Each structure stands twice: as C-alpha cells, then as structure tokens.
C-alpha cells in the first residue's frame, strides 16, 4: 500500500539552516546537511530545502549545498527558492536534487511549468501554492505571501496540473505559524479538484493534527518545519502515533 | 568497476552518490569500451521515454546494451526502456523484457509517488528485505506482470516492481533514494 508521507522543511539562508523565533527574528540552526541527515535517519520520508535568500550571488552556495545533500542523504529531496528558468532547474537536478519547487515564477510565467516538465518530467516539478482566504475566497499569494494575485486557488491548482506539475505543495497562510492544525477545508477542496499528489503545509502543532489531515482529507503528505526543529514533536514519535491510528506510514 | 550509463537522461548523480555511500566509486560513462569492461552496469533514467530512447540511439548505446553479459540493473525509466515498447511517446524499447509499458489509469492520483511495499518478490536481489519494507517510487507508467516479473507492488493494480531475465535485472523504484532498504538491494545486486 502507498504510504502517507511526512516531510520536513528546512529554510536555508547563505548555506545555513535558519528558523524563526516567534515570527520576530531568525537565528542560525546549524548545518542543513547534518540536520537533513538527522531527520532522514529518524525516518522522515522526504526533505524540502527552501532557499529564502535566493539571490543570484548566493546561487553557487546553494548548488554546492545541494551537492553535499545528495552525497549524504539517501531519501528524496526537493529544492526551492528563486528558480526562474529551465537552466536554474538543470543546475539543481544535476547537483542531485530529485525535485524542484517553484512558486512566484510559475504564477508570473506558467509556461515555465510546461518547459520544466517537458525537459525533465512532471515527477520533478512541485508547484508551491501559498493560499489565503480573503472575502471568503481562497486566493493565491506570491512573493512569500506579500502580493495577492488574481488567481483563485482551485483554478490555479488545476492550471498547474494542465501545465504539467507533478505535485502541489499547498501552504495555508491563514494557518501557517498558528500551530492549530492544517487547513482541512482548502486541502480537501484541492484534493478533490486535481489528480496529482498534494502536500499540506501550515498549521502543524500536534501529532493529532497530522492524523486529522490524513483521516479527513485525501492529502498524500504533510509538511512541517518548526515543530521538528524545536523538538516539539520527534519524527519517530509522530510515525508511531500515526501507525497506531491505522494510517499507512513507512516504518522501515 | 561499476559503470553507470550516462546518456543525458535524468538525475544520475544521485545513483553515483548512492554507491559512494557504500564506499564504492562508480563511473558515469557513455564509452562502449568502459561499459563492456565493467563488472556491473547500472542503467538509470528519469524523464520521458521516447526522448531517452533518442538519446540512446544518438550514441549507439541502444545496440550495445542488449549485448551486455555482466549483471545489468535498470532503474525506473531504465527498467521501462529495457521493455519491448512504451506507451509514453509510443516508442520501441530495447526489448530485453517482452512487456509493454502502460499508463496508469486515472482512477487515482498519478504519478504513483512515494513509499510503497511489496506484494511478492523472489530471488537474490531481495535477500534480507521484507515484503513489508517500503521503497520509493515515482512513475506515471508501469510495467504489467509477466513471466519476467520477480517482484510485485500494488497501486491501482499489481504491477512489476522488479524484473529479471538472464543477466538483466530492473527495478521500478529508486533504490538510490530508498534509505537502508534501497542500500541493501544495491548491495544484493553488487553481490550477484
């Protein structure tokens, strides 16, 4: 049976892991390769490395980092942040990334999704969608949530599939950072609207939140960052709990 | 020497890195002499089948690969290209396995992406592996069950997770991305 996946996300700045403290500042959380390897050893199913600086001059640092991650880690990983062209993608995949994640660039130029899918296959194209409810409509936001677009989230997700996306990483801005559970409403709506895997992100605070997402929606994977980094939930503990709830989870 | 066939199709660094983690140096090559001289040959692949076949034809590897006599391991698209035909891009394959690669019906989400276990398996490739062990899959096309099937996995229906004929082995999943279980399967292949 296909298992539900637990994904840990690491934010990267200038080659180091960073994490926010109460949404105010960010501090260095160490070497992303070591942290990723630790999570992999603990049984996380996939890793996402998100370059939050992603300026052109920092690109080389990121590529070098991806090479090291690929050498060290024996599970799939996705790299995102600042990808604007097919050449950017080629560089990351050649360095060893399994998938890439695009967000603002896909909204600005949906053809980019098709170009990447045609050249490297849909399986490596994750489109990250930041969604927020405004005036009772779910809208897509870009530029790290700073800019509202014209897109309704469901329509945009369907567009992404048509353009060749292999997976959708759906982050609820309403829930992100709240630790009061994943946004089950929009997560299930997207799952019903499209026929490719969906990752839920934003709002994870307890083990029960993961169970609820897997039981009440058809989501394929749940992603979290800070609760893992701060040690609030350990991955083995989470996976044991989900298995006890009869959710199909990888335990080897 | 372990040769990894390099034909510009997909992410082959991760396959090389998997052998590095086992303390082995595998060589990325499209040189026929090096491939013929290797003790073991890995035939990886990610991407689209007809494009990948064109790449093989452009370098003459499509005639070389079927003549190999040492153990060969096809991975993911590599496995599909070892079959007779693929619906993906309607292309002929290398014809080692007399099976046609087919698209998953759209009853469920496609690609089949993530960790899945085995319904059955047999042979030395699966030594010290349990049926309940999960390995990492990501594919939209599958190889049906046939005489050459040595492992089955279930998604929508049962399909070939691994094939074997003579010295040719092939796996649909990515052993290089499948944690310790994947490492075990790579070691089993190297021990053939």
pLDDT tens digits for range B87-96? 998 999 999 9
Report the percentage of chain B scoring pLDDT > 70. 99
Span A154-199, pLDDT tens digits: 999 999 999 999 999 999 999 998 999 999 999 999 999 999 999 9
The answer to whether A205 and A235 are in contact (CB under 8 A) is no
Instruction: State the pLDDT at residue A23.
Output: 45
The answer to whether A102 and A78 are in contact (CB under 8 A) is no
Active site residue B33: no
User: Which pair of tokens denotes residue B31?
Assistant: 């040189």
Nearest residue, CB atoms, B138 vs list A75, A96, A123: A123
Active site residue A180: no
CA–CA gap between residue B68 and residue A191 (Å, rounded): 45
Q: Where are the domains of chain B?
A: 2-190
Instruction: State the pLDDT at residue A118.
Output: 86
Q: Compute the mean pLDDT over every residue in chain B, rounded to the nearest whole number.
A: 95
**Reported ipTM:** 0.94
Taking only residues 134 to 173 of chain B, the set having a beta carbon closer than 8 angstroms to any beta carbon of chain A reads 134, 136, 138-140, 154-155
* Residue A95 pLDDT > 80: yes
**Scanning the structure block, which residue is given the tokens 């799939």?**
A76
Span A10-54, pLDDT tens digits: 999 888 888 765 444 566 778 899 999 999 999 999 999 999 876
CATH of A5-244, one of 3.40.50.280, 3.20.20.70, 3.40.47.10, 1.10.3720.10: 3.20.20.70
Q: Quick one: pLDDT band at residue A240, thresholds 50, 70, 90?
A: very high
Residue A71's DSSP bridge partners are none
Instruction: State the pLDDT at residue A57.
Output: 63
Nearest residue, CB atoms, A74 vs list B10, B113, B182: B182
Instruction: State the pLDDT at residue B154.
Output: 98
CA angle A201, A205, A209 (to 5 degrees): 70
Question: B2-190: what CATH class?
Answer: alpha beta
Taking only residues 163 to 182 of chain A, the set having a beta carbon closer than 8 angstroms to any beta carbon of chain B reads 166-167
Phi-psi region of A40 (alpha: psi -120 to 50; beta: other; left: phi over 0): alpha
Instruction: State the pLDDT at residue A55.
Output: 65
Span A189-236, pLDDT tens digits: 999 999 999 999 999 999 999 999 999 999 999 999 989 988 899 999
Report the percentage of chain A scoring pLDDT > 90. 77
Radius of gyration for chain B, computed over Cα atoms and rounded to the nearest angstrom: 15
pLDDT (mean) for A67-87? 94
Instruction: State the pLDDT at residue A14.
Output: 81
């Amino acid at each position: 049976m296909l298992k539900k996946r637990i994904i840990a996300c690491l934010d990267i700045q200038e080659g180091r892991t960073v994490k926010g403290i109460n949404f105010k500042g960010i501090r260095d959380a160490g070497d992303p390769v070591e942290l990723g390897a630790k999570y992999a050893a603990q049984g996380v199913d996939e890793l996402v490395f998100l370059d939050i600086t992603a300026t052109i001059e920092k690109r080389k640092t990121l590529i070098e980092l991806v090479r090291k991650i690929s050498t060290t880690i024996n599970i799939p990983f996705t790299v995102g942040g600042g990808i604007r062209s097919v050449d950017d993608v080629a560089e990351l995949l050649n360095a060893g990334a399994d998938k890439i994640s695009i967000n603002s660039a896909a909204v600005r130029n949906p053809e980019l999704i098709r170009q990447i899918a045609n050249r490297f296959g849909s399986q490596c194209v994750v489109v990250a969608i930041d969604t927020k409810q405004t005036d009772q409509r779910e809208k897509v936001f870009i530029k790290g949530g700073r800019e509202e677009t014209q897109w309704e989230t469901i329509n945009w997700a369907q567009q992404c599939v048509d353009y060749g996306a292999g997976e959708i990483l759906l982050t609820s801005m309403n829930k992100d950072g709240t630790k009061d559970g994943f946004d089950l409403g929009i997560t299930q709506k997207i799952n019903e609207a499209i026929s490719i895997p969906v990752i839920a992100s934003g709002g994870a605070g307890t083990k029960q939140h993961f169970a609820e997402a897997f039981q009440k929606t058809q989501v394929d994977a749940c992603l979290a960052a800070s609760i893992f980094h701060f040690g609030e939930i350990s991955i083995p503990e989470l996976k044991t709990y989900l298995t006890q709830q009869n959710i199909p989870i990888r335990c080897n | 020497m372990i040769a990894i066939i390099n034909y510009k199709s997909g992410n082959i660094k991760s396959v090389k890195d998997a052998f590095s983690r086992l303390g082995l140096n595998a060589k990325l090559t499209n040189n026929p002499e090096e491939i013929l001289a290797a003790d073991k040959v890995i035939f990886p692949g990610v991407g689209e089948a007809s494009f990948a076949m064109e790449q093989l034809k452009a370098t003459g590897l499509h005639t070389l690969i079927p003549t190999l006599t040492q153990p060969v391991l096809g991975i993911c698209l590599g496995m599909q290209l070892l079959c007779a035909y693929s619906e993906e891009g309607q292309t002929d394959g290398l014809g080692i396995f007399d099976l046609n690669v087919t698209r998953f019906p759209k009853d469920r989400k496609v690609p089949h992406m993530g960790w899945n276990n085995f319904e059955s398996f047999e042979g030395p490739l699966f030594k010290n592996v349990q049926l309940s062990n999960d390995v990492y899959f990501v594919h939209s096309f599958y190889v049906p069950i046939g005489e050459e099937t040595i492992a089955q996995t279930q998604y929508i229906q049962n399909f070939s997770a691994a094939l074997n004929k003579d010295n040719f082995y092939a796996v649909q999943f990515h052993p290089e991305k499948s944690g310790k279980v994947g490492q075990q399967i790579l070691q089993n292949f190297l021990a053939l």
